[in-house]
């Protein structure tokens, strides 16, 4: 029997973070941005023996699994750069910010976040752009190799109250 979990959330960062954690824990992750997309995926991946009401069970399981998963990621932020592990190879700065916000549980000011990322020289442009933003094309970035090599255990300091 497959251990598959469907996560439906409109925040791409939350889906990405939970997907990485669930895959690490041995689950097959399926993500959807909308309820309609989630229902279609649930029907597509539904085993032949399962009743359609099994979707409610998935929702109940998700309520039980998501808070501990987020808590675990937040606890790891203090001693491990989980953001480096959760992001795809290339990403926009907005995607990076959304992932950090999803894990930390804090809203971050866009310009301040970008200033910190720039000052710390964490990323470098790939020369590519993404048109999936809904607005003008966004530049795509990747973590600098030097940063990944020199920060094997550093945590993330976000300031403020935890």
How confident is the model over 100-110, as a mean pLDDT?
Answer: 85
pLDDT band at 110 (very low <50, low <70, confident <90, very high): very high
Q: DSSP class of residue 33?
A: S
The beta strand positions in the chain, using DSSP E, are 4-8, 28-32, 91-92, 123-130, 138-143
On the 0-12 / 13-18 / 19+ scale of CB atoms within 10 A, 90 is middle
The owner of tokens 């973070």 is 17
Q: DSSP class of residue 137?
A: P
Ordered domains of the chain (ranges, CATH): 4-76 (3.40.50.2300), 82-150 (1.10.10.10)
Q: What is the pTM of this model?
A: 0.54
pLDDT for position 154: 44
Q: Taking a C-beta distance cutoff of 8 angstroms, is the pair 81, 104 a contact?
A: no
Provide the mean pLDDT of the chain: 76
Which helix (H) or strand (E) segment holds residue 89: the answer is: none
pLDDT for position 25: 80
The beta strand positions in 3-150, using DSSP E, are 4-8, 28-32, 91-92, 123-130, 138-143
Range with lowest mean pLDDT among 8-22, 74-88, 97-111: 74-88
């Amino acid at each position: 029997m497959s251990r598959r979990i469907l996560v439906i959330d409109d925040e791409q960062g939350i889906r990405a973070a939970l997907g990485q954690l669930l895959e690490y824990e041995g689950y097959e992750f399926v993500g959807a941005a909308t309820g309609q997309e989630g229902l279609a995926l649930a029907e597509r991946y539904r085993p032949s023996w399962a009743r359609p009401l099994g979707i409610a069970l998935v929702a109940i399981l998700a309520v039980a699994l998501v808070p501990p998963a987020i808590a675990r990621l937040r606890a790891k932020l203090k001693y491990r750069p989980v953001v480096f592990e959760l992001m795809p190879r290339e990403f926009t700065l907005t995607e990076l910010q959304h992932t950090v916000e999803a894990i930390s549980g804090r809203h971050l000011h866009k310009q301040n976040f970008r200033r910190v990322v720039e000052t710390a020289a964490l990323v470098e442009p790939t020369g590519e752009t993404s048109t999936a933003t809904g607005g003008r094309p966004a530049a795509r970035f990747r973590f600098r190799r030097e940063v990944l090599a020199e920060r094997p255990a550093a945590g993330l300091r976000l300031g403020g109250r935890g």
